[in-house]
Amino acid sequence: MARNKVAVIGAGNVGGTVAQWLAMEHLADIVLIDINAGLAKGKALDLMQAMLMQGTGVKVSGGDDYSMIEGAKIVVITAGVPRKKDPKTGKFPSRDELVKTNQGIVGEISKKVAQYAPDSIIIVVSNPLDAMCHVALQESGFSSRRVIGQAGALDTARYKTFIASELNVNVHNVHGITLGGHGDQMVPMTRQTSVSGIPIMELMDKKTLDDIVERTRKGGGEIVSLMGYSGYYAPAAGTVYMVASILNDLKRVVPSSVYLTGQYGYHRLYMGVPVVLGWNGVERIIEMELNEEEKTMLDASAASVKKVVEILGF
């Protein structure tokens, strides 16, 4: 049986690591595409050689030619420009400038995906995440079931990891979820969090849990402040978790940024909510019952996503 093909656009830290994990898990043949063709070709070659030593038959190729993505079942978009100082002016770009730059990049890539892999499912990783999902949806013309953002898998992993470390329990026994946009206003759902069914409130005091919620919200910034650039192992692992659920039709419930058309009271907005991921992409959006406090927090998160989406000018 032929193996599935996954294309990863952007062969930087996140893209390269996604490719590495896909290959190690024998999930698919991989195509790495980058505007820097040498980087994509070099990483593909390096990875291919590593895989040969592991005895897997996964094929990895790279370059800047989009015809290579033909036949891909999933296209992961990780291309983008990070927020860094302009070496000429010494100034940081404004948030709006950065959104516009990445809109151009993700928009062009999405058009190419529609041209060369019209039946694929797009997983967006590029930031600002929820807004970039809008761009991919608009420019690909795909059904929203096939344009999904990776954020909740990562945010939830961070949340569960902090809880597991605090309680010194296996992270697999921690159950919980974060909702909302991929930003400081995401909403970790403490009321529904448990350790093997034991409500989290019975296992730690409110202050400890509040601190974990705050640390989760700022989880990306914590890593940037340590390394000077954003993390990539956990973002890549979250992406591969989604890819596996789709390719193997696992129907995992994964919090993901999806296009809401009235669910949770939001219309035409990408935001993180629990969804069932299977062979067709988003197979179901699950609506959780929220209390007033949770809904107020989710509204604030939605408002901050909307502000960025407005910059896109759709």
Nearer to ligand NAD, 35 or 164 (CB): 35
Smallest distance, ligand NAD to C-beta of residue 36, A: 4
* CB contact at 8 A, 149 and 270: yes
Q: Is 150 in the site for ligand NAD (CB under 6 A)?
A: yes
- Cα angle vertex 127, ends 71, 178, to 5°? 100
Catalytic residue among 26, 134, 172, 182: 182
List the one residue out of 136, 77, 130, 80 whose CA is nearest residue 111: 136
Phi then psi for residue 4, to 5 deg, are -65, 160
Nearer to ligand NAD, 194 or 304 (CB): 304
Nearer to ligand NAD, 127 or 245 (CB): 127
Answer yes or no: 182 catalytic. Answer: yes
- Of residues 178 through 197, those in contact with ligand NAD by CB under 6 A are 182
Cis previous bond, 128, omega within 30? yes
Bridge partners, 255 (sequence order):
274
Q: What does 98-123 look like in DSSP terms, one character per residue?
A: HHHHHHHHHHHHHHHHHHH-TT-EEE
Q: For tokens 């390719």, name the residue.
A: 247
**Among residues 235, 272, 274, 281, which is the contact residue for ligand NAD, using CB under 6 A?**
235
Nearer to ligand NAD, 154 or 282 (CB): 154
Name the residue whose CB lies closest to ligand NAD: 12
- Cα angle vertex 281, ends 305, 160, to 5°? 60
Binding mask 71-90 for ligand NAD (x = CB under 6 A): -------xxx-x--------
**Helix-helix angle 206-217:219-227, to 10 degrees:** 60
Nearer to ligand NAD, 9 or 213 (CB): 9
Q: Is 39 in the site for ligand NAD (CB under 6 A)?
A: yes
Question: The tokens of 6 are what?
Answer: 């996954």
Q: Is 242 in the site for ligand NAD (CB under 6 A)?
A: no
**Among residues 6, 7, 8, 9, which is the contact residue for ligand NAD, using CB under 6 A?**
9
- Of residues 112 through 141, those in contact with ligand NAD by CB under 6 A are 125-127, 129
Among positive and negative, which fits the CA dihedral 270, 272, 273, 274? positive
Instruction: Give the separation between CA 110 and CA 85, rounded to whole angstroms.
Output: 27
**Among residues 13, 61, 120, 190, which is the contact residue for ligand NAD, using CB under 6 A?**
13
Smallest distance, ligand NAD to C-beta of residue 108, A: 6
Nearer to ligand NAD, 148 or 195 (CB): 148
**Among residues 11, 30, 285, 309, which is the contact residue for ligand NAD, using CB under 6 A?**
11
Q: For tokens 């470390």, name the residue.
A: 165
CA 11 to chain centre: 15
Instruction: Give the separation between CA 312 and CA 100, rounded to whole angstroms.
Output: 7
Q: Is 272 in the site for ligand NAD (CB under 6 A)?
A: no
Instruction: Give the separation between CA 106 and CA 100, rounded to whole angstroms.
Output: 10
Total residues interacting with ligand NAD, rule: CB under 6 A: 29
**Among residues 7, 31, 68, 105, which is the contact residue for ligand NAD, using CB under 6 A?**
105
* CB contact at 8 A, 263 and 286: no
| Residue ranges in contact with ligand NAD by CB under 6 A | 9-15, 34-36, 39, 78-80, 82, 105, 108-109, 125-127, 129, 150-151, 154, 182, 230, 232, 235
Catalytic site residues?
182
